[in-house]
Structure 1
Amino acid sequence: MSMQDLIAKIAKGPRAAKDLTWDEAKRAMKALIEGEATSAQVGAFLMAMRIKMESVTELASMTATARSYVAPVPIPRELGVVDLPSYAGKQDTFHALAAAAVVAASAGASVLMHGYDGIPGREGNAGVLKALGLPVEMGPKAAAEAVAQHGFAYLDIALYHPPVYRFLEMRQELGVRNIFHPIARLLNPARASSQIIGLSHPPHFEKTAEVLRMLGSHRALVVSGVEGDPELSLTTLTRVLELRDERITPFSFAPRDIGLPLGAPRDMAGFPSDQRDKEADLLRRILHNQLQGGACHWVLMNAALILYAAGKGATWPSCVPLARRALECGAAAKKLEELSQEPVGIGVTG
Structure 2
Amino acid sequence: VCKHGNRSASSKCGTADVLEALGARIELTPEQVVRCVNVAGFGFIFAQKFHPAFRHVGPVRRELGVPTIFNLLGPMANPAPVAYMLVGVANPARMGTMAAALAQRTTASLVVHGHGGLDELSLAGANRVIATRNGVVQAESTVNASDVGVTSADNGSLRGGDPAHNAQVVRDVLANRLAGPIRDVVVLNAAVALHLAGAAVSLRAGATLADSAISSGAGYAALEAFVAESQRD
**Counterpart in the other structure of 1:239:** 128
Deviations 1:235-285 (A, max 9, x none): 1211111100222222211111122221133430212x3xx3333222211
In structure 1, the partner of 2:80 is: 190
1:301 aligned residue: 188
**TM superposition shift of 1:228:** 5.3
Distance 1:320 1:177 in 2: 30
| TM superposition shift of 1:122 | 2.8
Mark the CA change 1:278 to 1:183 in structure 2 (over 3 Å): closer, same or farther. Answer: closer
Which residue number in structure 2 is paired with residue 16 of structure 1?
none
Q: 1:134 aligns with which of 1, 4, 24?
A: 24
Identity among equivalent positions (%) equals: 29
Amino acid of the structure 2 residue aligned with 1:294: P
Match of 1:332 in 2: 219
Does structure 2 retain, via aligned residues, the 8 Å contact 1:140–1:159? no
Q: Check whether the contact 1:118–1:169 (CA below 8 A) recurs between aligned residues.
A: no
8 Å contact kept, 2:26–2:230: no
Q: 1:280 aligns with which of 142, 163, 167?
A: 167
Taking the aligned partners of 1:212 and 1:265, their CA distance within structure 2 comes to 27
Aligned: 1:145 with 2:4: no
Alignment of 1:210-225 (within 5 A): 210-213=100-103, 215-225=104-114
* CA distance 1:175–1:303, change in 2 (3 Å): closer
* Aligned residues: CA RMSD: 2.3
Q: CA deviation at 1:199?
A: 0.8
What is the match of residue 146 of structure 2? 256
Counterpart for residue 318 of structure 1: 205
Is 1:204–2:87 an aligned residue pair?
A: no
Q: Is contact 1:132-1:340 (8 Å) kept?
A: yes
Match of 1:90 in 2: none
* Secondary structure, aligned partner of 1:322: helix
Alpha-carbon distance, 1:172 to partner: 4.5
> TM-score if structure 2 supplies the norm length?
0.88
- Name the CA distance, whole Å, in 2 between partners of 1:297 and 1:334: 20
Match of 2:159 among 242, 247, 269: 269
CA distance in 1, matches of 2:8, 2:160: 18
Figure out how many residues of one structure are paired with residues of the other and give that number.
231
Cα deviation, residue 344, structure 1: 2.8
The runs of at least 4 consecutive aligned structure 1 residues that moved more than 3 Å come to 164-170, 172-181, 225-229
Structure 2: gaps of 5 or more residues: none
The structure-2 alpha-carbon separation of the partners of 1:168 and 1:181, relative to structure 1 and needing over 3 Å to count, comes to farther
1:118 Cα deviation after fit: 4.1
Of stretches 241-250 and 158-167 in structure 1, the one that deviates more from structure 2 is 158-167
Check whether the contact 1:133–1:340 (CA below 8 A) recurs between aligned residues.
Answer: yes
1:264 and 1:147, CA in 2 relative to 1: closer, same or farther beyond 3 A?
same
Structure 1, unaligned stretches of length 5 or more? 1-110
Alignment of 1:111-126 (within 5 A): 111-119=1-9, 121-126=11-16
Aligned 8 A contact 1:235 1:265 in 2: yes
Cα separation, 2, equivalents of 1:174 and 1:264:
28
Question: Deviation per CA, 1:190-236, whole angstroms, max 9, x where unpaired?
Answer: 121111111112221111112223x343211111147654x210112
Q: Which amino acid aligns with 1:246?
A: G
Report if aligned partners of 2:194, 2:206 keep a CA contact under 8 Å in 1. yes
